[in-house]
Structure 1
Amino acid sequence: MARKVGVYTRISRDDEGESLGVARQQQDCERLADLRSWQVVKTYEDNDVSAFKRNVVRDEFELMLKDLRAGLIDGIVAYDLDRLARQPRDLERLIEIFDERPRLEFATVTNDINLGSPDGRTMARIMVAFANKSSHDASRRIKRKHLELAQQGKDSGGPAPYGWRKDDRTKVDPVAAEAIRKAQREILAGVRIGTIRTRWQQQGLGNPRAGTKRMAHHHVEQILTSPRLVGYRTYRGEILLGEDGEPVKGNWERINTLEEWEAVCAAVAERKQKHPGKSLARKYLLSGIARCGLCKTKIRGQINGRWEPGSKATRYTYQCSVVNGGCGKVSRTGEPVDMLIAQLVLEEQRTRAAVTAVPGEQRWLREDELEQVTQDIAQLVEAERSKQITVATLLQLLPAKERLRDELKLERARFYKEQKQAEAKGDAANLTVEDFFALPIERQQEIVLHSLSAVIINPAGRGRRKFDPSLIEPVWR
């Protein structure tokens, strides 16, 4: 009976996402298996996955080890040993399995190593050690090259970040840039990143390889707050500063102004501080806004237990709950209450907009002071470089200037955050009711809270079935 083997293929980088490299490896490995009269029963493919980086988990490699240990396959065929392991610890895990099952087969296309013999294992350990050193050397050279490119404001290559064209990563992609700006306005208006992520996933936005991987929350957050949006060059995740202490500017087109970007970053950071690790998801418009007319406890929406799919009954109600400390005596069908409040709020905001002049965008009053402090820092650094002052003098004067600069930058970010948030939250005057309910639920709640501080739902009394708007009492700000 032919031995059942698995083929393992891996490539560290696949910028195009077409899997051509692993496909070539698979063909060569299957040809070798045929020559040995082995039956290939599974291909384990880790495409675009490093075997050198310690924090990377190779899912297919781990599955292959489990299958080997469980006896589901009788051996491995790989293109080369360094496709399997570039860290000695990974090789030792493989050798341990070959110790447990001495009759396992092993072959590579480029050389012939027997992991079942002491000499073969020694040779494998030497080869992996050299592959590991080669990766270390390459990593050091690449890091130095990337630092040099970063200092010059140049890109480091690779796939174009979302927001820029794939064929020319210095040019903005208009469609992607507008998607980013829209999402940023939503963030400032109170919409959750999770809501944006869900919509982007459905529309195929944000991920250059949409459809191959599920978009992560932190990936969307990084896109919306990336320093690249305002032209800042980063190195290893941090904004790179030049010799003058100012951020290095990249040679690509910008998507945001500095004020817009700082406002979004401040809004995201503020939300994390207020609600660390807490989900802000809402399903119903007035959850946490509505209050019981009898005990004044906050009311939340909940699914009506009597509702069935396909029925005409409304599927949710606002009900005072004993579990949440309420009296449990007030309940109201949710949909007509939401419709009434939306109509009242939109009408109130249209009336207010008609009589209130919209303030134009204001400039932060301390902008000149920040610019002067920044110049002072640059002059001090240049004076030390030209030997006009000593290092000791520089280190005496510099910390106070840097603290003031950082304080001013924080104040500027807070100023523009509040300004942009006010702009994003105050643009509901022209919305129709249909437009309102098409918005994300967080945005709907922000619009309601712009006009109301609460909604009192009063008891309807026994036997009353028809919706009575007079029992819904909005509390205006």
Structure 2
Amino acid sequence: MKTTTRVRRVGIYVRISDDREGGGLGVKRQEDDCRLLAAALGWKVVEVYVDNDVTAADRRKKRKDYIRMLEDVKSGHIDAVISWHPDRLYRQPAELEDLIIIVEEHKTEIASVKAGDLDLSTPTGRLVARMLGAIAKYEVEHKQERIIRKVQELVAAGKIHNSGHRPFGYTRLFDGEGPRRKILGEILNAEEARYVERWADRALEGEKLYSLVLDAHENGVKTTTGGEFTYQAMRALLMSARISGRKEHKGEIKGKAVWPAIISPEKSDALRALLAARSEEHKAEFGERDATALKYPLSGLVRCTCKVPHVVGEPCACKEEGRQHHKMSTGQRGDKDMSIYTCKKEGGGCGGRTIQIPDLEPLVEKLLFARLEEIEVATEEDPADPRPELEAKLVRWEKRKGELEDELLDGDRPAREIQDAIDKLNVRMADARREIAHYSVKANLTEVSAVELRKAWKDYSVPRKQSVYRGLIREILIHPATRPFNVWNPDRIEVFWK
């Protein structure tokens, strides 16, 4: 082994990728062995760098103490490094090359308990280090192949991965103790499952995700990691096929899983299609995600006719023609404390049209209940309901997709031709699910009688009222004021129903 004439200031680097025992016992054993080697070499240990339960196989994951060690080498705080084995220091060839540059520049010695001295200042030493690095890289890639194959096996069987946080709505059953205990199965967590069902139903009624997040906050419901629910967490929960008892991998549903369902697969499909469509539509119109819960029930529906003139009582085909009435914003009257909708000039509007919210809301409420009563009288079962036909098509398309996937495996036809057909079927099925979801929102709302809704209306929160309005109303047009201007004229209001 290489000798030195002076006492080296050594830093010990220890690392273990997977601390199955917990408590850092693996890195402690490495440190003990490294200290014995330092004593044998006559080197003084001045620092210990520990990356416990941290892999070196993935460069995206930062090893904080490894980075700190390199900075101490550069600053001169240490001039030698001891590790239990070279693969504790590096497993990626690119990392080794970075280490070689630093070690050569600062004349740093490297020793290991199991592989002896690594003299990176000589071509032979660098060759040995690179060979060890190539072997370590091979081991990483081979292990990844085994892991991927195991994941594929679990996905095909609908089983639970023995990793990750506990999913919301479920309680896990374990074999053994400690952080690496084996997951035996999952059962429903009754309290959390009730919230999942409640949020799913309210989302299918058209309620915004942000209002569901507020509901979680108001009721003190936390995620399984103990954090507050966010928009992203709520969307991920309701978009997941897991809550319908199905296995999902990389966004694709693979089939029935071994854990119980909280909601039905049909309800889950409608929910996934609705949230996906809502996100796409909102991005197309506004370039960003769903807006936060609003202060007034009619916000977002009230429009001014200043940009696209419209005659009262005539059908409006502006949306179909790609034209839009200007959205009015909320504000306050300048002469008294009164909330209004106003067509703001700075937002591209006319700057002159307003409507008082205390006048508008009671009128639209009255029109809403009248509309629901009309629907009830018209028919109990909508003959124009497209869902039965679309659901029958989905069954046929799913069957055809399965046949095409079998053909793809057989290899009798060109793979590109079969894949194109599968892609077209996927688009058709996605469109059908979106249409079913949109109609389901309206159907869910009209299932509640006008009498029942009128009784419960005063207790509805603003977000719940918004969901009812948005499920039935396309837009509310505000026409120009008529003389006398200081008198409320309900004829200025025109509601277009879905």
Shorter-chain TM-score bucket reads 0.5 to 0.7
Compute the displacement of 1:417 (Å).
0.9
State how far apart, in whole Å, the 2-side matches of 1:331 and 1:377 are: 54
- Aligned equivalent of 1:447: 469
State how far apart, in whole Å, the 2-side matches of 1:201 and 1:57 are: 32
- 1:278 aligns to 2:288 (yes or no): yes
- Aligned equivalent of 1:86: 91
Contact 2:11–2:69 (CA under 8 A) maintained in structure 1: no
- Aligned equivalent of 2:240: 226
Distance 1:288-1:62 versus aligned 2 partners, 3 A rule: farther
Contact 2:85–2:114 (CA under 8 A) maintained in structure 1: yes
- Aligned equivalent of 1:245: none
- 1:321 aligns to 2:321 (yes or no): no
- Aligned equivalent of 1:144: 149
- Offset from partner CA, 1:310-360 (integer Å, 9 cap, x none): xxx89x87554332233434678xxx83x6655554455455546653957
Distance 1:384-1:59 versus aligned 2 partners, 3 A rule: closer
Compute the displacement of 1:193 (Å).
5.0
Distance 1:195-1:59 versus aligned 2 partners, 3 A rule: farther
State how far apart, in whole Å, the 2-side matches of 1:176 and 1:293 are: 46
Distance 1:340-1:236 versus aligned 2 partners, 3 A rule: same
Compute the displacement of 1:293 (Å).
9.2
State how far apart, in whole Å, the 1-side matches of 2:474 and 2:421 are: 44
Distance 1:263-1:178 versus aligned 2 partners, 3 A rule: same
Contact 2:84–2:113 (CA under 8 A) maintained in structure 1: yes
- Aligned equivalent of 1:413: 433
Contact 2:302–2:328 (CA under 8 A) maintained in structure 1: yes
State how far apart, in whole Å, the 1-side matches of 2:215 and 2:85 are: 42
Give matches, 1:367-446, under 5 Å: 367=391, 371=395, 409-410=429-430, 412-423=432-443, 429=454, 431-433=456-458, 435-437=460-462, 439=463, 444=466
Contact 2:279–2:289 (CA under 8 A) maintained in structure 1: no
State how far apart, in whole Å, the 1-side matches of 2:84 and 2:212 are: 42
Distance 1:411-1:183 versus aligned 2 partners, 3 A rule: same
State how far apart, in whole Å, the 1-side matches of 2:424 and 2:265 are: 19
- Aligned equivalent of 1:308: none
Compute the displacement of 1:44 (Å).
6.6
Compute the displacement of 1:300 (Å).
2.0
State how far apart, in whole Å, the 1-side matches of 2:63 and 2:454 are: 51
Give the TM-score, by structure 1 length.
0.66
Contact 1:348–1:451 (CA under 8 A) maintained in structure 2: no
State how far apart, in whole Å, the 2-side matches of 1:340 and 1:92 are: 73
- Aligned equivalent of 1:57: 61
Q: Which amino acid aligns with 2:171?
A: R
Q: Which amino acid aligns with 1:230?
A: S
State how far apart, in whole Å, the 1-side matches of 2:95 and 2:103 are: 13
Compute the displacement of 1:281 (Å).
1.8
Compute the displacement of 1:262 (Å).
1.7
* Structure of higher CA gyration radius: 2
- Aligned equivalent of 2:105: 100
Unaligned runs of 5+ in 1: 241-247, 306-312
Unaligned runs of 5+ in 2: 1-6, 174-183, 310-325
Q: Which amino acid aligns with 2:388?
A: W
- Aligned equivalent of 1:163: 169
State how far apart, in whole Å, the 2-side matches of 1:366 and 1:298 are: 33
Distance 1:376-1:94 versus aligned 2 partners, 3 A rule: closer
Give the TM-score, by structure 2 length.
0.64
RMSD: 5.5
- Aligned equivalent of 1:175: 191
Q: Which amino acid aligns with 2:442?
A: A
Same amino acid, percent of matched pairs = 19
Compute the displacement of 1:102 (Å).
2.7
State how far apart, in whole Å, the 1-side matches of 2:71 and 2:208 are: 41
State how far apart, in whole Å, the 1-side matches of 2:94 and 2:414 are: 48
Compute the displacement of 1:229 (Å).
3.4
Which range is displaced more, 259-268 or 227-236?
227-236
Q: When you count strand as a share of all residues, which structure comes out higher?
A: 2
